[in-house]
Structures are given as structure tokens and as C-alpha cells.
DNA sequence: CGCTACATGTAAGGTGTTACATGATTCC
DNA sequence: GGAATCATGTAACACCTTACATGTAGCG
């Protein structure tokens, strides 16, 4: 068991929704999973090669071997279920925004206001994206079976984004009081 | 500029609030910053040594050199302000819970419910901790100047935790509908 | 005087990103 | 046939954690 990381999980999982090339896996990780997961080329290709060696995925026949998609084998699906059953590894938090605000006294009120305003705008953008994705999800018949689960993850993003927006307003008000006093 | 990471920022920042030993820095990172930041021994000690070499921190005189706290020098404070002014580096998201729920179809409804229930309980615990810390903050006179900024970061945690709880209830309801249909 | 907490440091190893290198396919 | 995109792979490097190694201070 060389890889203790969750990269195998992400790759196998992506292929379980639809067979695809490594290139497409990366695009999907960026676009669809991007709100809560990330992988780079440097991870995806070695992982695919490893999964193929272990017989957990195989390339589907195609005239052009280069563009033939990978699909999970039966053992691959079994392995995926095992991996998904392991308890989620809590990733250590690294929030650069809050790190800066925590030491905001050194940074100054104005710079802090700017950071919070930027974060608020980012959250608005993300929220709009998620809402759009959610509507698109209801229209994609091919995802019928996976849709409820995908919906849940999109909802998590929406709740988070709305919380960020409300927090930003609250935080800006707190700083206003500070300046007034 | 050897270190592009934000470890220097965290260490210098901690010392800017109160001079302390490397050991204490680590405790503070775990307890206070722990909700949104993390550093390990293996990072903190080398970083402190580097900062000392660069004249950005120095040990305060004390009978026992071993337990004498580090304090930022004037240049150290300047450097801290520079570091804080750099734009926050967005950390790549790695949410093991949402990764599992996204592929929830493979995992099964029951296991998903359990994951969400666990996450909800965790959020409740965290929320209680944050509320306690917030109340304690108003009582610590030594933090007077930094308090409003610390308050903002605690609030961010509270908003996030409350969002997690609301999301969990929503998600569980969504799964209930799925089972019913 | 032994236990616990304080305090420092390093070495090995795993993880993950970036940059580079290479070529195929498709579309105009 | 040239450009953009698709597709794969690797090597170097940055980052970070864990485990180990070592010793001190204070307290009962």
C-alpha cells in the first residue's frame, strides 16, 4: 500500500462516474471537484499508472490508444468502496486570510478592511458559480444516480459561501466600531 | 528570500503578540491559531533559527538561556508587516468529507448519513469551543489592542461552524427524500 | 529522586507542485 | 500545414510531518 494519500480515491472516484483520460480527470478535478479538492498532473498520471499496474483501472479499446479513456475494473470499484469507507483524514487548516487578520493590529485597519472586502467578493462569485452548477445538475440526465450526492457537496459550498458573506459584513461592522471609538 | 511559505509570518506574528519560546509558539499555534492554521515542531524550530540568523528575532536575557523567550526585533516587526501585506496564498482545498460524499453512490446512503452526522457533531463541538474562547477574550486585558482582530477570526470560525450544522441538517433531509423515493 | 512538563533539534520520508519535455489530434 | 488543444510523463524541488534523540526544570 504505497499511497496513503487520498489521490487514489479521487482518481478512482472520478473514473467511477464516467471513464476518461488522465487529462480529463484533471479538468474534472479542477472544474467539478475544484470547490473542495485539488490534484495536479504530477499526481494524477503516476497514480493512474499505479492503478493500472494493480489492475484497478484499464484503458478501453480504441483506435487511438492515446485518447482511450481509463475505466475502473471490478476490483477497482471494490477498492474505491474500501477507500471511501476509511475515515476522512482531516487536512490541517491553512487559512492565509485569517492568519493576516489575526495579526491585523500590525497590518492596520484599512488593509484588513480590504482583505475582508476581497474575500466577500470572492465568496459572492463562488456562490453564483455553485448555484449555476446546481441548476445544471438537475438538467444532466446522465448523472441521475449520482445527482443527489453531488447536490449535497454543492450545497456545502453554498452554505459556506453564504457564511463567508455574512461573516464579512459582521467583521466590517466590527472594524467600523473600532475606528469610531 | 528562501522561504516562500507563510511559516515565518505565523511565527513572527505569534511573537509580536507576546515574546515566547519555540515550545510556547507551538502550543499557541495549536490552541489559538489551531482553528485556521497549523505548524509542527519540524517547521517552527528551523524557522526560529533562521529568523534569529537574519536578526529578525532575538532571545531575551534570562538566567536560563534554555527558557528565555524570543522577541521580534524592530526589523522583525517591519518584516512581519511586509509579510502580512502580501496577498494571502489560497491553499488548495482538500476536504475528505466532501470527497467521500461526492462519490456517495459507491459508498451507500447509510455510510453517508453517518459521515454527515459525525461532521455535524464535530461542528457543534468546535462552535462551543469558539464561543468559550470569545468570552475568554473579552476578559484578557493583556490582549486589549489585538482583541478586535482576534475576535474577527473567532467569528469566522463561528459562522463556518454554524453553516456546517445547517448544511448537515439540509443534507440529511436530502438523503431522507432519496430513501423515501 | 523520580515523574511530568518544558525545551530544542534533526533526520528520514512522504506528499504535492512546478516546470520542462514530448508528441498526437483536430480543426481551420 | 499551422495553431490550438489534447495527452502523457518526469525530474527537481519545496514543503511538512513524524519519529527519534536529548536534555532541563520544577514539583511532589
pTM over 0.75: yes
Nucleotides of D under 7 A from a protein CB: 6-12, 14-20, 23-26
SS3 call for B71: strand
Distance of CA B124 to the CA centre of its chain: 17
What would the pLDDT profile of B6-34 be if each residue is shown by its tens digit? 999 999 999 999 999 999 999 999 999 99
Q: Which domain holds residue A123?
A: 96-180
Total structural domains in chain B?
2
Q: From chain A, pick out residues whose CB is under 8 angstroms from the CB of B29.
A: none
The DSSP H or E segment spanning B72 is strand B70-72
CA distance B106 to A81: 6
Establish if B90 belongs to a structural domain: no
Both B43 and B111 in a single domain? no
Q: State whether A12 and A44 are in the same domain.
A: yes
Q: CB contact, 8 Å: A145 with chain B?
A: yes
Cell numbers for B28:
499557541
- Tens digits of residue pLDDT in B106-132: 999 999 999 999 999 999 999 999 999
Q: Which of A59, A85, A111 is the last residue of a domain?
A: A85
Residue A115 C-alpha, separation from nearest chain B C-alpha, in angstroms: 9
> Do A24 and A80 reside in the same domain of the chain?
yes
Task: Indicate if B124 and B63 belong to the same structural domain.
Answer: no
A74 and A111 in a single domain? The answer is: no
Of A46, A35, A55, A47, the closest CA to residue A10 belongs to A47
CB B56 within 8 A of CB B75: yes
A90 part of a folded domain: no
Q: Does any domain span residue A15?
A: yes
Is B91 within the bounds of a domain? no
Is residue A91 situated within a structural domain? no
Distance CA B126, CA B115 (A): 16
Same structural domain, A73 and A101: no
Whether residue A44 is found in the same domain as residue A64: yes
Angle at CA of residue B155, ends B151 and B161, nearest 5°: 150
Q: Which of B55, B85, B115 is the last residue of a domain?
A: B85
Q: What is the pLDDT of residue B4?
A: 56
Q: Determine the distance between A45 (CA) and C16 (C1') in angstroms.
A: 13
The answer on pLDDT for B2 being more than 60 is no
CATH code at position A11: 1.10.10.10
The three three-digit cell numbers of residue A7, written as one number:
489521490
For residue A1, what pLDDT is reported? 37
Q: Is the pLDDT of residue B1 over 50?
A: no
Domain assignment present for A67: yes
Tell me if A13 and B99 make a contact (CB, 8 A cut-off): yes
Residue pair B82/B69 in contact by the 8 Å Cβ criterion: no
Strand partners, B58: B71
Q: Are B25 and B40 in contact (CB under 8 A)?
A: no
Q: Which residues of chain A have pLDDT under 50?
A: 1-3
Q: Does residue B169 sit within a domain?
A: yes
CA distances in angstroms from B30 to A26, A50, A81, B27, B126, listed in the order given: 34, 36, 33, 5, 14
Q: pLDDT band at residue B3, thresholds of 50, 70 and 90?
A: very low
Strands (E) across B91-171 are located at: none
DSSP state of B88: P
Amino acid at each position: 500500500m504505497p499511497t496513503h494519500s487520498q489521490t487514489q480515491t479521487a482518481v478512482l472516484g472520478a473514473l467511477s462516474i464516467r471513464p476518461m483520460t488522465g487529462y480529463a480527470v484533471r479538468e474534472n478535478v479542477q472544474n467539478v471537484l475544484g470547490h473542495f479538492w485539488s490534484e495536479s498532473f504530477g499526481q494524477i498520471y503516476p497514480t493512474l499508472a499505479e492503478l493500472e499496474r494493480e489492475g484497478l483501472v484499464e484503458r478501453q479499446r480504441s483506435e487511438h490508444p492515446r485518447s482511450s479513456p481509463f475505466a475502473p475494473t471490478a476490483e477497482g470499484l471494490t477498492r474505491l468502496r474500501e477507500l471511501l469507507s476509511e475515515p476522512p483524514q482531516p487536512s490541517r487548516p491553512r487559512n492565509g486570510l485569517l492568519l493576516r487578520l489575526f495579526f491585523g493590529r500590525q497590518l492596520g485597519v484599512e488593509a484588513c478592511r480590504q482583505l475582508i472586502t476581497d474575500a466577500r467578493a470572492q465568496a459572492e462569485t463562488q456562490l453564483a458559480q455553485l448555484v449555476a452548477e446546481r441548476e445544471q445538475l438537475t438538467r444532466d440526465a446522465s448523472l441521475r444516480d449520482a445527482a443527489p450526492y453531488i447536490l449535497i457537496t454543492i450545497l456545502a459550498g453554498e452554505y459556506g459561501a453564504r457564511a463567508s458573506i455574512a461573516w464579512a459584513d459582521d467583521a466590517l461592522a466590527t472594524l467600523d466600531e473600532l475606528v469610531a471609538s
